[in-house]
């Protein structure tokens, strides 16, 4: 673990909790355990950086999935995971069959979006520059024809570029209704509303319509420039 990691993790969580309150009108409220671990079994995968459950977050500080990253990306990772804490508190996440409850690309794409919004809020990067990084990384890792429609399940999400593609989709979804629509979506999921209906009510479009236009939208973003580092 780098000597700077504990302060970085604490500062990222504190800043993101405050940011959520101002942006979304709610934040992490439950007593939550944040662990920086080099031995947790959940960190066994060499690519692991962090994971979150109900009232718990583990940062895999000894894993290459964490140590390879610069300070910007480490803070984004922590801020991404902090949004998962909110999702669990809302009961947006944590269903026995999460694939049926909500689309995986929305679950992860919203956390990735909020991670980049969080570091932009701290002035570490502009959100436009962060989005350009996501475009460049998506273009490098995923085929031009890859659509979010095949990434609704956890298994379907396991492709190169999934996080970047999902973040771009969420950014487009929120362009009109704003970030508060995430709370509308998550609340509907927590009440047992089918996720396509939750999607329609929160974002003002059907999944079919959104998927149909997504490839053209992604192509319109161009090449992007990856200035985010690792």
Banded pLDDT at 1 (limits 50, 70, 90) = confident
Give the mean pLDDT of 84-100.
Answer: 97
Domain that holds residue 59: 1-90
Domain-terminating residue out of 28, 62, 90: 90
HEC profile for the chain? Answer: CCCCHHHHHHHHHHHHHHHHHHHHCCCCCCCCEEEEECCCHHHCCCCCCEEEECCEEEEECCCHHHHCCCHHHHHHHHHHHHHHHHHHHHCCCCCCCHHHHCCHHHHHHHHHHHHHHHHHHCCCCCHHHHHHHHHHHHHHHCCCCCCHHHCCCHHHHCCCCHHHHHHHHHHHHCCCCCCCHHHHHHHHHHCCCCHHHHHHHHHCCCHHHHHHHHHHHHHHCCCCCCCCCC
Q: Do both 191 and 109 map to the same domain? A: yes
Kindly tell me if the per-residue pLDDT of 46 is higher than 90.
Answer: no
The total number of structural domains in the chain stands at 2
Query: Residues 26-44: pLDDT tens digits?
Result: 999 999 999 999 999 999 8
Establish if 230 belongs to a structural domain: no
Kindly tell me if the per-residue pLDDT of 230 is higher than 90.
Answer: no
Query: Residues 112-161: pLDDT tens digits?
Result: 999 999 999 999 999 999 999 999 999 999 999 999 999 999 999 999 99
Kindly tell me if the per-residue pLDDT of 47 is higher than 90.
Answer: no
Query: Residues 187-222: pLDDT tens digits?
Result: 999 999 999 999 999 999 999 999 999 999 999 999
Kindly tell me if the per-residue pLDDT of 2 is higher than 90.
Answer: no
Q: Do both 114 and 194 map to the same domain? A: yes
pLDDT of the residue at 25? 97
pLDDT of the residue at 176? 95
pLDDT of the residue at 182? 98
Q: pLDDT averaged over the chain? A: 96
Domain-terminating residue out of 41, 75, 90: 90
Establish if 43 belongs to a structural domain: yes
Banded pLDDT at 172 (limits 50, 70, 90) = very high
Q: Do both 34 and 103 map to the same domain? A: no
Establish if 217 belongs to a structural domain: yes
């Amino acid at each position: 673990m780098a000597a700077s990691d504990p302060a970085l993790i604490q500062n990222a969580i504190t800043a993101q909790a405050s940011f959520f309150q101002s942006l979304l009108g709610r934040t992490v409220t439950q007593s939550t355990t944040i662990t920086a671990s080099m031995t947790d079994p959940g960190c066994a995968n060499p690519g692991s950086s962090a994971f979150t459950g109900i009232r718990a977050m583990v940062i895999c500080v000894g894993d290459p999935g964490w140590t390879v990253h610069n300070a910007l990306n480490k803070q984004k990772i922590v801020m991404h995971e902090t949004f998962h804490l909110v999702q669990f508190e809302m009961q947006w996440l944590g269903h026995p069959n999460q694939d049926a409850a909500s689309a995986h690309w929305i679950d992860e794409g919203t956390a990735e979006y909020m991670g980049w919004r969080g570091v932009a809020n701290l002035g570490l990067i502009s959100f436009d520059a962060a989005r350009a990084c996501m475009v460049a990384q998506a273009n490098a890792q995923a085929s031009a024809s890859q659509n979010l429609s095949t990434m609704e399940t956890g298994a379907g999400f396991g492709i190169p570029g999934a996080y970047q593609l999902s973040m771009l989709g969420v950014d487009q979804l929120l362009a009109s209704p704003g970030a508060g629509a995430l709370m509308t979506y998550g609340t509907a999921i927590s009440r047992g509303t089918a996720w396509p209906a939750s999607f329609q009510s929160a974002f003002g479009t059907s999944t079919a319509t959104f998927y149909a236009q997504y490839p053209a939208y992604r192509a319109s973003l161009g090449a992007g420039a990856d200035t985010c580092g690792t």
